[in-house]
Structure 1
Amino acid sequence: MTGERSDLDGFRDHVRSWCAEHIPVDWRAAQTGVSDQEFVRFQKQWFAELREAGFAVPHWPREWGGGLSVAEQIVLYQELAAHDAPRLVLAFVGIHHAASTLLAAGTDEQRRRHLPAILDGEIWVQGFSEPEAGSDLASLRTTARRVGDRYVANGQKLWASGAEHADWCLLLARTDPEAPKRKGISYFLLDMTSPGVEVRPIRNAVGDSHFCEIFLSDVTIPAANLVGAENAGWQVAQATLGAERGMTMLELAERLGNAGFRWLVEACPTDDPVVADRLAQFEIEITGLRSLCRQLVENTEAGRAGPADASVVKLYYSELLQRMTDFGAQVAGLPAHTQLVKSASSGWESGSWMLDFIGSWEWTIPGGTSEIQRTIIAERGLGLPREPSVA
């Protein structure tokens, strides 16, 4: 144990030194109000620096460029958060969702093609939700019809984060329209440069165009880009959603507990006992979140994770984020309500409280709404009777 502690202390010193040397001190100001092109350039440059240091994909297997222990990952994310490092906004889907899907269900050829490419800067988007299939994802209507050694896809995807910059898409499409809705879905890797793919950015409430629509018109997808078996895409998608609900939280919890909580304390009046009580409660909840995240990652690596564990963490984080940013907007007062810009490379805890609060609602919806998470926890975690289906 003493040797392990010593190794971790040495690793922490190494990460701290690297952060002090490589994190741009003025990146928040430099990334505020920038063009899309500058945002993409900065994100790719920052990803390349992290990759060179071995910090870009610490959760991946060692043979693919990762291999840090859970304890080392926690130290890494603690130090990146404490030093206010930029977030990997653009690479997020690739290094988490695409990678977890390929590692869990992809072929050797698919892994060899895409995992090194992701490390070289390949950008991914998730093509799951549709206008009539959000929380009830299994109701999706996008189709993919088999024609020889290819599929022909038609349909529309909605709320596709970062699709405007994506090279590839994780696509769910219905391949058997006659099957029960969870039985007839397949999972594809879609080249976003394919003819028939159209991306339309959606301007949101705070003026960003982070979300996009994707329209597919007779788009051909090679059969080699099918992940898992045909009509078994729903099961494959659980690996992607599990990553979104679970493994990604390790970093996000540390950022919320470092920069996010630090800025909240700075925004609060120090002589108000009611405010002090709320801050103490938030600190307790953050401690609980960190513990849940570590337990989830350790249990996942050991094959002991429960069917609802990732949903517990996702629900806990998203609603804590919402409460904290709401409180920040309250205590920061009217000046915070008129601050309408924040850094393009920050997360949901940027210190621009009104924008952070509005953005926090995004986290209680994608990857399964809070209501969906509670249903999963009740049915799969607690063994309660299933919710009756609506005809």
Structure 2
Amino acid sequence: MPQEESRAGEEELRRRARDVLAAYPPEGTEDVEFLRARFDAGLAWVHFPEGLGGLGAPRSLQAVVDAEFTAAGAPDNDPRRIGIGLGMAAPTILRYGTPEQQRRFLRPLWTGEEVWCQLFSEPGAGSDLAGLRTRAVRDGETWVVDGQKVWTSSAHNARWAILIARTDAEVPKHQGITYFVCDMTDPGVEVRPLRQITGEAEFNEVFLTGVRIPDAHRLGAVGDGWRVAQATLMNERVAIGGTALPREGGMIASVAAAWRERPELRTPELHDRLLGLWVEAEVTRLGAERVRQQLAVGAPGPEGSGLKLAFARLNQRVSGFEVELLGEEGLRYGDWTMVRPEKVDFYGRDAGYRYLRAKGNSIEGGTSEILRNIVAERVLGLPAEPRTDKDVAWKDLPR
């Protein structure tokens, strides 16, 4: 974008933001009402089309809008609570949804009125997601779904889910999958908590028994669900590993603060290790910025897998270092209580929580082993691993 055009675009967005603030003063307006007005003004996702929360503007200009609202004390949509909707469901619906689906789902998704979850992984199909067994059988204009999903974050709070299910067992596993939007209030949906090492139940297992999904809630063509799911997964990995952070932000911030405030903890050996982690955190942060710039001009590619891989490794190393730095204090764990949180909070908790919760970073959003394969094959161009089941009908695969 030419510099003059960019400046003109920024000024127009600022004007629109100020118009919303004048018509809906944050101090006297309900949060949901304000967020709806912001969406309708095209200031939710400025790069989305008009009428769907955006203005068709460059994605890079979103920061201009966000800064105006933040400076005015306007409410946000609590993105950590609705991260699956924002980072995974919304871009998939925008790319593959019908106009009716886009109008129905995107506004309450962005305002936080409807929480979303992701029904992908299964007990026997985690890393090998295409081997999933959940079945969807067509019955007129509806689909009847039966199966089980697992590791489903936010299922206990969700109104809607993005779901992939097998619709054809006679073709190879990647070809017989279809993508749906599932109503989590259907009587055939049962959500059970999975207690984690942190003591909480942020994840769930979900049982689907005779769940009826209208064909109008199908995303993409029948049998094309794997391609649609890839769009979701690519966005998921950027959403997990590509969060915009300031310098010395994220997990390294807590460690650096403890180092500065607690000189009695310092040793030369720990100093050298902390410097190495600080540099790694900065490299990862700059890598995330580069991926976001790529995302601003198109859909995310396999590079997001490398970013998410680096994020998981860094979080685990930094949280382990923090526990070691704090010594006995780092071994304390404040509250090992069975709760079902609405969102993950790494930074409002103690070091013990961060250490335990970071273990999940190498599983969620794609295991580190699978992401290494993706980086090797799709980014570096190395030969693919042999796959003997590639052309075998799913029904003939060994169980």
**Aligning the two structures, in what range does the TM-score lie when normalised by the shorter sequence?**
0.7 to 0.9
The aligned amino acid for 1:308 is: P
Q: How many angstroms apart in 1 are the aligned matches of 2:369 and 2:89?
A: 25
Equivalence for 1:70: 60
Q: How many angstroms apart in 2 are the aligned matches of 1:302 and 1:115?
A: 21
Aligned residue for 2:204, secondary structure, equals strand
Q: How many angstroms apart in 2 are the aligned matches of 1:278 and 1:48?
A: 49
Aligned residue for 1:163, secondary structure, equals coil
Match of 2:183 among 185, 188, 191: 191
Give the deviation of 1:346 after TM superposition: 5.0
1:317 maps to 2:304: no
Aligned residue for 1:285, secondary structure, equals helix
- Report 1:86-235 matches (<5 A): 88-120=79-111, 121-235=113-227
Q: How many angstroms apart in 1 are the aligned matches of 2:107 and 2:237?
A: 24
Equivalence for 2:252: 261
Equivalence for 1:353: 351
Equivalence for 1:339: 333
Q: How many angstroms apart in 1 are the aligned matches of 2:180 and 2:282?
A: 38
Give the deviation of 1:351 after TM superposition: 4.9
Q: Tell whether the 8 Å contact from 1:51 to 1:57 is kept in structure 2 after alignment.
A: no
| C-alpha spacing 1:90/1:183, structure 2 compared with 1 (3 Å) | same
Give the deviation of 1:296 after TM superposition: 1.3
- Higher-RCO chain (CA-CA 8 Å, sequence separation at least 6): 1
Equivalence for 1:283: 278
| C-alpha spacing 1:135/1:304, structure 2 compared with 1 (3 Å) | closer
Aligned residue for 2:143, secondary structure, equals strand
The aligned amino acid for 2:194 is: I
Gaps of 5+ in 1: 23-44
Give the deviation of 1:261 after TM superposition: 2.4
Equivalence for 1:40: none
Q: If each structure's helix is expressed as a fraction of its own residues, which one has the higher value? A: 1
The aligned amino acid for 1:382 is: L
Q: Tell whether the 8 Å contact from 1:93 to 1:124 is kept in structure 2 after alignment.
A: yes
Aligned length: 357
Equivalence for 2:397: none
Question: TM-score, normalised to structure 1's length?
Answer: 0.80
Q: Tell whether the 8 Å contact from 1:47 to 1:56 is kept in structure 2 after alignment.
A: no
Give the deviation of 1:338 after TM superposition: 1.6
Q: Tell whether the 8 Å contact from 1:308 to 1:377 is kept in structure 2 after alignment.
A: yes
| C-alpha spacing 1:374/1:273, structure 2 compared with 1 (3 Å) | same
Q: Tell whether the 8 Å contact from 1:171 to 1:190 is kept in structure 2 after alignment.
A: yes
| C-alpha spacing 1:59/1:378, structure 2 compared with 1 (3 Å) | farther
The aligned amino acid for 2:280 is: E
Aligned residue for 1:126, secondary structure, equals strand
Q: What is the aligned-residue RMSD (CA, Å)?
A: 3.6
Give the deviation of 1:240 after TM superposition: 0.8
Match of 1:303 among 289, 298, 305: 298
The aligned amino acid for 2:309 is: L
Equivalence for 2:387: 389
- Report 1:4-19 matches (<5 A): none
Q: How many angstroms apart in 2 are the aligned matches of 1:274 and 1:75?
A: 45
Q: Tell whether the 8 Å contact from 1:93 to 1:126 is kept in structure 2 after alignment.
A: yes
| C-alpha spacing 1:49/1:90, structure 2 compared with 1 (3 Å) | farther
Equivalence for 2:48: 61
Q: How many angstroms apart in 1 are the aligned matches of 2:349 and 2:85?
A: 26
Residues 49-58 or 326-335, more deviating: 49-58
Q: How many angstroms apart in 2 are the aligned matches of 1:273 and 1:284?
A: 17
Q: Tell whether the 8 Å contact from 2:202 to 2:342 is kept in structure 1 after alignment.
A: no
The aligned amino acid for 1:61 is: F
The aligned amino acid for 1:274 is: E
Q: Tell whether the 8 Å contact from 2:251 to 2:315 is kept in structure 1 after alignment.
A: no
Q: How many angstroms apart in 2 are the aligned matches of 1:248 and 1:314?
A: 6
Gaps of 5+ in 2: 71-75, 390-399
Give the deviation of 1:151 after TM superposition: 0.6
Q: Tell whether the 8 Å contact from 1:246 to 1:310 is kept in structure 2 after alignment.
A: yes
Question: TM-score, normalised to structure 2's length?
Answer: 0.78
Equivalence for 2:373: 375
| Percent pairwise identity | 36
Give the deviation of 1:57 after TM superposition: 4.9
Give the deviation of 1:73 after TM superposition: 3.7
Q: How many angstroms apart in 2 are the aligned matches of 1:166 and 1:86?
A: 15
Give the deviation of 1:98 after TM superposition: 0.8
Highest Rg: 1 or 2? 2
Q: How many angstroms apart in 2 are the aligned matches of 1:101 and 1:246?
A: 14
Aligned residue for 2:223, secondary structure, equals coil
